[in-house]
Homo-oligomer: A and B are copies of this chain.
Amino acid sequence: MKRLRLTLAYDGTTYAGWQAQPSGNTIQQTLQKAIASMSGETVVAHGSGRTDAGVHARAQEVHFDTHAAFTTDVWHRGLNALLPPDIRVHQIRNAAPDFHARRDALRKEYRYRIWNRDVMPPFLRFYRTHIVTPLDTEAMRAAAAILVGRHDFAAFTANPNRDVPDTTRTLSLLKVTHRNGEITIRAISEGFLYKMVRSLAGHLMRVGSGSVPAEETSDLLASRQRTARVQTAPPQGLFLWQVGYRRNNGKR
């Protein structure tokens, strides 16, 4: 048996997210079905983490085990032939037998992308969140500076304390850039809570629109309570951008 590691890109528009669900319309199940079509095996494809319905991935990392004798090149071409065009395998390689896409992930980067002009170009409509009102990126940066670091992010997750008792995380980067009407929020952490990036983005968007003063961010963090003062930004602007592992991890 060997373990394979895949780097996957997907357009999440029509999927109910990564994680398998009874509906069946998830990235994980679509991938597992393609693997089964190739090798006849029923496998579990382990992702570095879940992505919500409608969220995209530029580079999701996945591992699975197989007894099939295919080369990585045959797997690569076979899976891309079997998968729908909104899911693509960018890379596939042999991994160490103990490599684990989720547990070995050292850090993840998400990017939340906002189109901040009057008219949304039709070609971007599934891949950006559209905000017509000009956002104050200086205020967004002031709020982001408060959020960076090690904090209890209970106020910035959708279901605090439900299945994750410890809601403390280290946000190593939260950067707001603005270029040609497009605002990008980059978030890097060793791990994110459920809907944390969309909650951070939702908060920064409200700060940028002037609905919430940037300084209120400290109070929100300190409250450790999720309230309606923090809103979850819509999914289509969010991309799982990259997942970092220890050097050489996942290769052999």
The distance in angstroms between the C-alpha atoms of A56 and B125, with both chains bound, is: 14
Give min CB distance, A51 to chain B, whole Å: 13
The distance in angstroms between the C-alpha atoms of A85 and B9, with both chains bound, is: 24
In the complex, whether A86 has a CB less than 8 A from a CB of chain B is yes
In the complex, whether A89 has a CB less than 8 A from a CB of chain B is yes
What range describes how many residues of A lie at the interface? Answer: 10 to 19
Tell me whether B89 and A125 are in contact (CB under 8 A).
no
Knowing A80-B119, A119-B80 are in contact, say whether A125-B86 is a contact too (CB < 8 A). yes
Partner pick for A122 among B86, B119, B121, CB 8 A cutoff: B86
Residues 140 to 194 of chain A near chain B (Cβ within 8 Å): none
In the complex, whether A36 has a CB less than 8 A from a CB of chain B is no
Of the listed residues A9, A11, A119, the one surrounded by the most CB atoms of chain B closer than 10 A to its CB is A119
Could you list 17 A-B pairs, sorted by A, with CB under 8 Å? A9-B121, A9-B122, A9-B123, A10-B122, A11-B122, A56-B123, A80-B119, A85-B120, A85-B122, A85-B125, A86-B125, A87-B122, A88-B119, A88-B121, A88-B122, A90-B119, A123-B127
Q: Apart from A56-B123, A88-B122, what 19 extra A-B contacts exist at CB < 8 Å?
A: A9-B121, A9-B122, A9-B123, A10-B122, A11-B122, A11-B123, A11-B125, A56-B122, A80-B119, A85-B120, A85-B122, A86-B122, A87-B122, A88-B119, A88-B120, A88-B121, A89-B119, A90-B119, A123-B127
- A residues in contact (CB < 8 Å) with B: 9-11, 56, 80, 85-90, 119-123, 125, 127
